[in-house]
Amino acid sequence: MNEWFSPNTVAAFLSAVAALFAAIATWRGPLSAAKLSESLRQASDQESERRRFRLNVFATIMQERAQIYSMDGVRALNSIDVAFSDANAVREAWAELYQALNTEPMPEHVVDERIRKLLREMSAELGISERLRLDDFGRIYYPKALSEEHKLQHLERVAALSRLQNKSSPASNTSSAEQDPWPPQPKRRE
């Protein structure tokens, strides 16, 4: 029995156990490293995609701030809650802008102020606002020709809408006596 507990036997046994663990580590190490590497790559890809989406929303609102009701501007505004779901300051600024946009009559100076605030909060969240002031978000180049073109489109849309509403209104569907399709009744002679 002493042979089993001799220092040479214990050392040989512990050496065999260490060799077994080394073999297991040699076999599992690359697999674990590959899994860890893949999970880190996926996390990095997700974070890159999230940042790209946020930058796209910010850039679109920045580009469309002169005419925020454009189709691209509306799409970007409607994406804020998803893109900045964990940024409370951005979502608060968006809620304030949303409230101003749904106020009748819509006060333009309040909408402009809230768009600037939203852009400032978004740029702070993205880490790109170190040197931007609130006035920088208000500086918009909007040529007169472009403004006139949009005004013309708006007037044409209002006129077409008015024309279509007048054609389909119930009052215009009733016939008057002058437009009666039947001939007049004969008059009696006396």
- Per-residue pLDDT tens digits for 30-60: 777 777 777 887 878 888 899 999 999 999 9
Cα dihedral 30, 36, 41, 42 sign: positive
Domain boundaries, the chain: 48-140
Here the tokens at position 19 are 């060799």
Is 0.75 topped by the overall pTM? no
Per-residue pLDDT of the chain (190 residues; tens, 9 = 90+): 456 677 777 777 888 888 888 888 787 777 777 777 778 878 788 888 999 999 999 999 999 998 888 899 999 999 999 999 999 999 999 999 999 998 888 788 899 999 999 999 999 999 987 778 878 888 888 888 888 888 898 899 899 989 889 875 555 555 555 566 677 777 777 6
| Pair 132, 121: CB distance under 8 Å | no
Instruction: Count other C-beta atoms under 10 Å from residue 125's C-beta.
Output: 18
